[in-house]
Chains A and B, each alone.
Chain A
Amino acid sequence: MTNENNPIDDLFKSKLENLESEPAESSWEAISKKLQEENLQKTESTNHSYYWWAAAAILIITSVFVFRNFNQEITTKPNIATIETAKNETIVKNETSQNNNPVAQEPKKAKIYLSKNSIKEVKLADGSLIVLDKNSVVTVPENYPYQRTITLRGRAFFNVVKNTELPSFMVSTNFSECTVKGTSFIINAPINSNSNQLWVKSGVVSIKNLTTNDSKEINAGEKISLVDGKLIEKNKINSANFESWKTETLKFNNTPLNVVASDIADYYNVKVLLNNEKLQNCKFTGEFSKYSIDELLQVLSTSFNLSHDFSQNTYIIKGEGCK
């Protein structure tokens, strides 16, 4: 059943044919409820399936009393029927526990987590946490934590639980590989860019440049960028706002207006320009939680007597500046 080759078809087939995504947690409950409803209807009509009789036989043997109760109650009180089926579960539990993990026997595959318009948290089996920024993707091996290599497109925060018995936790992007023990950090690997950024919040992260194969160790409170296949000299994190996409809060502490502007630009995904060099002398202190950009600019304008123009996704901030 293969059709003739076409590059677009091939692209979509290769990327989307085996796409996987975790369903909502409520999904199984809804399905299970519908199945039960259908089963209740079925119990009243006869069912000739071999398995049904097998099930009935087991039930009769193990618990004749419960089964009779069950049949009597279902027509009038579905709630009680639910409780009784829950009892069935405990009867067969021992049998289930021997082989209740068919997933582990399947070939090694990865789970893909996509975030679209909202920030998404991914809790991993070893207690580690990924907070995925909007429009980002991580893939997690299905046999995690026995293999702890995560791929990332976009931006994410990682909090890795230290566990020396498990393999190293590694995040790979198109351009870099970051290896860690227990630590927390943020990587930004934008989908449409050849740059990567890494901010280390705690612990130590080793970043490997996949273009040149050289590595560097980045300590807590430091950041590093990788641009055009080169690791740029690491330096101290000078703004608290490297994680504002996650905390939804912008914090400034005696921060020059040009840094404020670049943090705003990054957070709201716009361009922000200052029309006067003296504006860099203005220092701002304050905290904005879940502000709209217009509200935020309003506050800045009042503080420094500014005005602004907006066109084509760019804010131009105007003012006399400070001494």
Chain B
Amino acid sequence: MEKSVIERCLAGDRKAQEVLYKSIAPKVKGWCMRYARTVFEVEDIVQESFIKIFKNLKNYSNTGPFDAWARRIVINTAIDSYKSNLFSDNQVNIENTTEIEVGFAKITDTVTEAELLKILNQLPNGYKIVFNMYAIEGYSHKEIAEILKISEGTSKSQLSKAREAIKKLLVQYNYIENDERE
């Protein structure tokens, strides 16, 4: 992101705001798509994220990449949206479950982003958010526990259940050859 665009945004230049929006909007939507459940939810989170990005723009220090800074805001917005829509039946409270080994022979390389999103969307909310935060965002279980206000054990169990569910769906859609008996 160019410094001058950001400066002009801060000065309230709508044209510059639009330039900034256009340059990162596809990415922002991509990030939101992993968290949200419906197209409406995606749209809500995208809009809310941009409002926060513009409101907090003065706090962007220009030291790190702009994308990374914006991404943190978007992911936090998505997590907040998840927290405000919490359904208790999606919580699995098993302490200290052991990691389940996920071994599979081969993933067909034709599996597309759309298919993976579809699979992600079929997971219960609790699995989905922990999987997103751990596997894609790179948060540790400790961080996830703090952010979502759950125990580390719950975070671990949600993750391994998410992986198990994903594996089943991958097998079901023939994207991997199942090398175990179910």
Contacts and interface: CB of A to CB of B under 8 A. Distances in A.
A75 B85 CA distance: 36
B135 A19 contact: no
A144 B173 CA distance: 33
Nearest to B9: A51
B113 A19 contact: yes
B10 A7 contact: no
Contact of B112 (A22, A96, A153): A153
B140 to A, nearest CB: 7
A103 B150 CA distance: 40
B117 A16 contact: yes
A39 interface: yes
A308 B117 CA distance: 37
Interface string B30-49: 11011000000001001100
Nearest to B14: A89
A310 interface: no
A19 B18 contact: no
Residue among B5, B29, B140 with most chain A CB within 10 A: B29
Interface residues of A, number: 58
Contacts of B51: 31, 34-35, 38
Given A52-B11, A88-B14, A20 B47 contact: no
Chain A binding surface, main DSSP class:
helix
Given A23-B46, A51-B58, A89-B14, A135 B114 contact: yes
Contacts of A2: 138
A49 B104 contact: no
A46 interface: no
Contact of B114 (A39, A55, A105, A137): A137
B2 A102 contact: yes
A153 B138 contact: no
B25 A27 contact: yes
A21 B19 contact: no
Given A3-B135, A7-B104, A30 B15 contact: no
A21 B18 contact: no
Interface size class of B (residues with CB under 8 A): 35 or more
A11 interface: yes
Interface in A300-322: none
B18 to A, nearest CB: 6
Contact of B1 (A17, A32, A102): A102
Contact of A34 (B22, B47, B140, B167): B47
Interface string A65-109: 000000000000000000001001100110110011011011000
Nearest to B30: A19
B4 A23 contact: no
B47 A27 contact: yes
B136 to A, nearest CB: 5
Contacts of A292: none
Given A19-B34, A27-B46, A103 B22 contact: yes
B80 interface: no
Nearest to A106: B23
A51 B7 contact: yes
A178 B102 CA distance: 38
A58 B102 contact: no
B11 A21 contact: no
Contacts of A8: 102, 135, 163, 166-167, 170
Contacts of A111: 26
A9 interface: yes
A2 B138 CA distance: 5
Contacts of A18: 27, 30
Residue among A51, A103, A137 with most chain B CB within 10 A: A51
A1 interface: yes
Contacts of A13: 135-136
A12 B131 CA distance: 10
Interface string B113-143: 1111100100000000001001111111000
B110 A7 contact: no
A92 B15 CA distance: 9
Given A38-B55, A49-B58, A114-B112, 9 more contacts: A6-B135, A7-B103, A13-B136, A21-B30, A23-B28, A28-B25, A52-B10, A112-B30, A116-B114
10 closest Cβ contacts across the A-B interface? A51-B10, A9-B135, A55-B11, A19-B30, A1-B138, A20-B26, A114-B114, A20-B30, A21-B29, A31-B50
